[in-house]
Amino acid sequence: MGETTERTASALTREGMFRAVVETAHDAIFFTDSSGSVVFWNRTAEVMFGYDAVEMEGKPLTLIVPRRLRAAHEKGIRAALSGNLPVSGKTTEITGLRKDGGEFPLELTLSTWEKGEETFLAAIARDVTERQVAQGRLAESEERYRKLFEESPIALWEKDCGSLMDRLDELRRQGVTDFRRWFEGRPDAVFDLLGLIRVVDVNMAAVQMYGGATKEELFSGLRNMLCGESAGMCRDALLSHSTDLSDEEIRIIADTGTHVVHNPSAVASIRGRCPVPELLDAGASVVLGSDATAPDRSGDMFRHMQQCMHYHRRHFRDPDVLPPGKVLEMVTIDAARALGLDNEIGSIEAGKKADVILVDLFKPHTYPFQMPLYRTIYFANGNDVDTVIVDGRILMRHREVLSVDERTVLEAAQKEADLALERSGLTGLTNPRPRLWGHSHY
């Protein structure tokens, strides 16, 4: 009797553990007998499908799929229970049906087990609606990116630099620390390293720039398209950051008509300096960029104009470096020229598109009103823009956006940002860093 009692207690303990696990699971879990009728239905299944356990007991499992699909699912269940269709551990996506008639995407994992002469079917179900929505948005985002990539008037390249980085790491292990000096003694090494860059894709603007007929002609690699000092490689190109350039590099940029995008708020401008005054004096084209909206920078171009002036004046210890008029040109007509659109936008002239902003300077921080250009460049910010006109169309008037619902756009943008962080596993980076307070360094 004692041994029987012990076995019974052990079985009850195992059953209790089993029920505790399946009743608290985040997935729906249910079992059927050999006829395909439900014999177990956990709490998550009740919430997911709207049927409680009592309602589902003895009901066919096909009740949770749309009527149009039941015959096919019933056939599959019979095949699984008879052993003619191996299902154990296999996961598939099907369409589920709630009690209220609503359909939703369902991920289903099945397995079978035998007790005596009867075969049972176990199922774990997961509602994948949110995942499919996220995948759909990702696909839409990729499609938008691809459209922008293909239709851009600027030559764009998608490159795989993995082999190049491996080679550079190998050189570092061999003791190379000053790559500029190393390259000066090995001019052919530049082309050897360029040969390691694999061209993944280009847009048609790049094909046209190199006089090709198809993209495939450019997939042979960068080395085959360059010669001499590769002076022609940067014509009509935009080089971002461009820090710590040598005099020779400044000359090449100026001679080739390359455009440099200076981002004074970027981390790159902390680690090195883009020689903007030197480039301008050499005849090169330099425009301002925002470097996106990381936590320590913004898309406010007024801010970047101010930072640009102070950044280079501090370097030269000279308050006359980069007059405000020139900096304003760097975000207007010079920027339009760098994009190849200076015949359409960038300045207020007859025949050009009416792309105009009106800045409200009747503010305490922009007064007194003498020298309005100086007041605008030195003290205004993006919040002072009162009206925005694009190609003659008023998109914002008196700080009210007329073209879109601003709140809806902001909420959608926040949601997309959250999804991007979640998909990439980088949500933790949004938490405050240690030593944020009370220290001179992180």
Give the domain ranges of the chain: 16-127, 237-347, 354-423
List of the chain residues with pLDDT < 70: 1-20, 180, 187, 220-236
CATH superfamily, with its number, for domain 237-347: Metal-dependent hydrolases (3.20.20.140)
Domain 354-423 CATH (choose: 1.10.10.10, 2.30.40.10, 2.70.150.10, 3.90.1150.10): 2.30.40.10
Q: Supply the pLDDT for residue 326.
A: 97
Same fold, 16-127 and 354-423: no
Give the contacts of 230 (CB within 8 A, at least 6 positions apart). 190
Q: Supply the pLDDT for residue 296.
A: 79
What's the whole-model pTM score?
0.52
Q: Supply the pLDDT for residue 48.
A: 93
Q: Supply the pLDDT for residue 226.
A: 56
> 16-127 maps to which CATH number?
3.30.450.20
The per-residue pLDDT for range 219-245, each reduced to its tens digit, is 765 555 555 544 444 446 788 899 988
